[in-house]
Amino acid sequence: MRKLNDIKKQKNIALIAHDGKKVQLLNWVKKNKEILSKHFLCGTGTTVRMIVEETSLPIMAFESGPLGGDQQIGASIVEGKIDFMIFFWDPLSSQPHDPDVKALLRIAVLYDIPVATNVSTADFLLNSNYMDTEYIRKNPEDGSV
């Protein structure tokens, strides 16, 4: 397991969960609270409110997902302001803003942002060497730096 003083670079981490996955994300955040507290956190409105209420971590809130929060996070990725995204989307329920969800996932792929969509991938990412490397925004057309 990583130690706190192993962390060399602060990351901008986006946290997002659909309603059916919010408890899972909250539990993951609680489990990793110490490490996460060393980074800059942001997320969609309702997800952030829940995490702040339960953990007191400082997190910047965008709008709620269905009200445009996914699009705001997508725009932040385009602007190079997000290093990675934890997005627990719910495979068992449909979302009114499904086009926004798709657009956000598309933008994350286009800009080569690591995305964790479940607990095991989120664990993997948070404990990987990626945490010690600086995110360099790549050319979305050919991946060049």
Ligand X SMILES: O=C(CO)COP(=O)(O)O
- Closest approach, Cβ 38 to ligand X, in A, equals 23
DSSP-assigned letters across all residues of 17-45 = E-GGGHHHHHHHHHHTHHHHTTSEEEE-H
Q: By beta-carbon distance, which residue lies closest to ligand X? A: 65
Residue 46 annotated as lining a ligand binding site: yes
Residue 121 annotated as lining a ligand binding site: no
Nearest to 45 by CA among 20, 64, 19, 21: 64
Instruction: Mention every residue, 6+ apart, whose C-beta is less than 8 A from residue 58.
Output: 41, 52
Residue 39 annotated as lining a ligand binding site: no
Active site residue: 6, 19, 70, 98, which one? 70
- Clarify whether 70 is annotated catalytic: yes
Spatial distance between the Cα atoms of 6 and 145, rounded to a whole number of angstroms: 26
Binding stretches for ligand X (CB under 6 A): 16, 18, 44-47, 64-66, 69-70, 101
Residue 37 annotated as lining a ligand binding site: no
Contact 87, 116 (CB under 8 A): yes
**CB-nearer residue toward ligand X: 7 or 52:** 52
Binding residues for substrate are: 18, 22, 44-47, 64-65, 97
Catalytic positions: 70
Binding residues are: 18, 22, 44-47, 64-65, 97
